[in-house]
Amino acid sequence: MPGITKAAYTNLTGETPPENRIPLTLNELLGFPADQHITLKDVTERITCWPDVTGCILSQSTGLSLVGTVPEGLSKDAIVAFAPRMFEALNKSFQEITGRETDELVIPAPGNSFHIFRNKDLYLIILSRTPQMPERHMKVARFVLAALSIKRD
């Protein structure tokens, strides 16, 4: 798996990276052994183990689900079909208001809040019991999506 460069780390977190810890690999970020080959399923399953996370999906902007799980009572197909469309619609309004786009969207909802991250045409959708995930989890989610997007290029 590719690593995260110092520039990418700074762009994603707004912080200066520690000198001896870059590039971070996807394995390091998610706590897998360095020599283990990890799959997209491994990634979503590891994120689903985070506190208060109830589901995690990787999908494409076309509505194609790559891998993931959602809590009982929710439709993975519906989430994958509508999340990119909701993201784009809300982002269009956000751009009109602020003059720029965002690659992150949080939709707080009773029971399961949606944390949607976008990198090019790849979406990482994390469902959480809490309206806002801890910032450390948000940072890891950004890194994971960046690393996966680099791998796909």
| 50-109 tens-digit pLDDT | 999 999 999 988 878 789 999 999 999 999 988 888 888 888 898 899 989 889 999 998
Place 25 in a pLDDT band, splitting at 50, 70 and 90: confident
Do 107 and 116 meet the contact criterion of CB atoms below 8 Å apart? yes
Place 147 in a pLDDT band, splitting at 50, 70 and 90: confident
Task: Look at residues 32, 34, 26, 56 and name the one whose alpha carbon lies nearest to residue 44.
Answer: 56
Q: Which domain holds residue 18?
A: 3-152
Q: What is the pTM of this model?
A: 0.80
Place 14 in a pLDDT band, splitting at 50, 70 and 90: low
**Residue type at 74 in one-letter notation:** L
| Residue 46 C-beta-side C-alpha neighbours within 13 Å | 17
* CATH code, domain with 113: 3.30.450.30
Q: How many domains does the chain have?
A: 1
Angstrom distance (rounded) from CA 57 to CA 47: 10
Tens-digit pLDDT profile for residues 106-128? 999 888 899 999 998 899 999 99
